Structure 1
């Protein structure tokens, strides 16, 4: 017999999944770290837990508060755009400099730097707040009591499934990225994605 809470769970799960699958700065970063096999578990855990925290805040009612604070959204938008432009420049430099093309064969990068970048991609992106806190939070109003909690749980589980699937699934592409040219293409694409998202953020002001 299907639980009466199942519709709430699957509503949260599939909505959450649809919001994070789109190619974005955070996903591009996790993909690259997965290909390099550097700090994959901790970075995927940070992304998933951060999403869970924001989803919980939205379901609890913070979404309404964020939506009524345009100044806060403006500050986060400008900060996020500046960070994305900086990371885009780093990605383009990696693609241009020959030594950066052999990243898969070098020693591991600093975990501290990777974690800092991961947190920045997560919390300096205003779309994260709009998607997880405002949108998911406001749509949770259609459920009451336990159903609302189950809805939020479904959205949180979707984040864990996606980020760990992306981080560890990237290893299947490793034979392709054994070639330096593939790393050049990836970094150019990452730089273009970061630049496009940054410009999109500024245009939204």
Structure 2
């Protein structure tokens, strides 16, 4: 069980460490200290649903319907291109530094809505979280639930650290150049992932 738990933790952490739209949003919320607890909770709950759906065998359904994988792949590529271009546009045009206030101008509903969209409207998350983790978990047989628990533990640790640890970076992101650099990195990463999905890599 320990081996499966550690393996699940390692795989999930390797998948989630890459900069993505969801991660960038959690980072922004953490930097602004705006509804961090609620945003992190939604991310963790979503990860639990996705990971254990994969462990329960949802990934096997996709293998019986290749068209679903293709639809998810091209839909994911399109989503990533749009978000990537938006990030690059922000890096090119926006010059404002971080507002270190408490984020009260942003409603909780808006924050949660954005979190849900960035999590569930990105087909790439299904390929990684449900498909890949589910497929690997299946190789552990009766210990697949331990594998899934390890994967979820990594996700929870990551989102909590990202959301609440982001405030340590506030002095850095008080400079406009830092925000532009972050948006640029996110934009390039999103476009690279889109190409990867499009090529089926």
Contact 2:72–2:123, Cα closer than 8 Å, also in 1: yes
Return 5+ residue gaps in structure 2 as ranges.
none
Shift of 1:103: 4.4
Corresponding residue of 1:140: 137
Shift of 1:21: 1.4
- Secondary structure of the corresponding residue to residue 168 of structure 2: helix
- Secondary structure of the corresponding residue to residue 23 of structure 1: coil
Q: Which 4+ stretches in 1 moved above 6 angstroms?
A: none
Q: How many residues align?
A: 199
More displaced stretch, 51-60 vs 64-73:
64-73
Corresponding residue of 1:104: 99
Alignment deviations for residues 34-86 of structure 1 (CA, whole Å, 9 cap, x no partner): 22222222222222221111111111111111233222223333333333333
Contact 1:94–1:101, Cα closer than 8 Å, also in 2: no
Alpha-carbon distance in structure 2 between the residues aligned to 1:85 and 1:113: 23
User: Aligned ranges for residues 1-205 of structure 1 at < 5 Å?
Assistant: 5-98=1-94, 101-105=96-100, 107=103, 108-145=105-142, 147-204=143-200
Question: Given the two structures, how large is their TM-score scaled by the length of structure 1?
Answer: 0.82
Contact 2:39–2:115, Cα closer than 8 Å, also in 1: yes
Alpha-carbon distance in structure 2 between the residues aligned to 1:135 and 1:83: 20
Contact 2:98–2:173, Cα closer than 8 Å, also in 1: no
Cα pair distance change 1:184/1:143, threshold 3 Å: closer
Contact 1:67–1:134, Cα closer than 8 Å, also in 2: no
Cα pair distance change 1:67/1:46, threshold 3 Å: farther
- Secondary structure of the corresponding residue to residue 104 of structure 1: coil
